[in-house]
Amino acid sequence: MVAEPIRPLEWLDGKIRYLDQRKLPTSEIYVETDNPDQVVEAIKTLAIRGAPLIGIAAAYGVALAIYHVRNADAGTVRSAFEKSSIKLGTSRPTAVNLFWALQRMRKVFEEHADQSLVELKKRLLEEARQIHREDEAMCRRIGELGAEILPNAASVLTHCNTGYLATGGKGTAQGILSTAWERHKLKHVYIDETRPLLQGARLTAWELIKLGIPATLLTDNTAAFVMQRGAVNAVVVGADRIAANGDVANKVGTYGLAVLAKHHGIPFYVAAPISTVDPETVSGAGIPIEQRSADEVTIIGGHRVAVNDVDVYSPAFDVTPNELITAIVTDRGVLRAPFSSAIKQLFSTL
């Protein structure tokens, strides 16, 4: 077990402190900044990553921008808010939690824009902290609900990183694994390395070792063979955006795992808080897919592994159709097909 929770992001007296995830697992380097532009850059470059954590970082980024405003003139304050919101809103296009958090911060800003600057700063910071606290509670609930539906002696395959490093709490998909381990329902975890940025190898393996959970690292293209040999009885992944019909955008490679799981008769579970569900996006076809730099594919650890000038297609995410998904575990309950109806009903109760 972890002696104390990993804290990848926190507010410290007018600064944001974050763990630079690009440096893991070889170095644990924390960065403190009072510059909201540095928060934007950290999100863009994946120093801060994971859909829920990006949303939390964006909320703190807005609070930080206003926290350091000294001129109480209404125009100056609004300009600082708008500039920070626009920059944060363009940092990553796929994860809906980012925009959800910015909308909450905007609502608070508009409600208190006519109050004193001191009061506005207080309100914005409290909202960011509330978003952080809520995500921690959501992770805990997802873990409880997900652990219940896993088979006993579960041997689970997971993709990318969905734990403390990606959220405000113990994680979404990884929160399920942690809770199942605590309840003696989890036997083993297989970790996809998650090319091209190796979030599984660098981050998930690092976290599971800290948690004391037995795990085996795989190259991404080994997953099919492990399933064929009967070593896996569930796949659990996170999500960056879930459309109204249950289609799921997640780290590229997720769709292939869903196809493999379907072929081998293995349940495929998605774990995400309701803030990741986007009822305004009808299907996965409407989810914007971020394109990353070719260097992320052609250069590994500072060494070029591909010929110069080769054409590279590098989407950060892919979309898994809802018919390949067994269930979506949210903090408000476990959703099953037909997902359109389940999601509609979920939001009607909020």
Is residue 242 very low, low, confident or very high in pLDDT (cuts 50, 70, 90)? very high
350 or 119: which carries more pLDDT confidence? 119
pTM across the whole model = 0.93
Query: Which structure tokens are listed for 194?
Result: 């998650």
Average the pLDDT over 265-286 and give the result: 97
Across residues 196-221, what is the average pLDDT?
96
Distance, in Å, from the CA atom of 324 to the CA atom of 8, rounded to the nearest integer, reads 32
Q: What is the pLDDT of residue 4?
A: 59
Catalytic residues: 240
**36-63 residue pLDDT tens:** 999 999 999 999 999 999 999 999 999 9
pLDDT at position 1 over 70? no
| 258: Cβ contacts below 8 Å, ≥ 6 apart | 235, 268, 320, 321, 324, 325
What's the confidence (pLDDT) of residue 72? Answer: 85
Mean pLDDT of the chain: 96
164 versus 3: which is more confidently predicted? Answer: 164
Cα 306 to Cα 284: distance, rounded to the nearest angstrom: 31
**Mean pLDDT confidence for 69-95:** 93
Lowest mean pLDDT among 93-102, 119-128, 136-145: 93-102
Instruction: Answer whether residue 345 shows pLDDT above 60.
Output: yes
pLDDT class for 5, splitting at 50, 70, 90? confident
Say yes or no to pLDDT of 115 above 50.
Answer: yes
Please compute the mean of the pLDDT values over residues 107-131 and round it to a whole number: 97
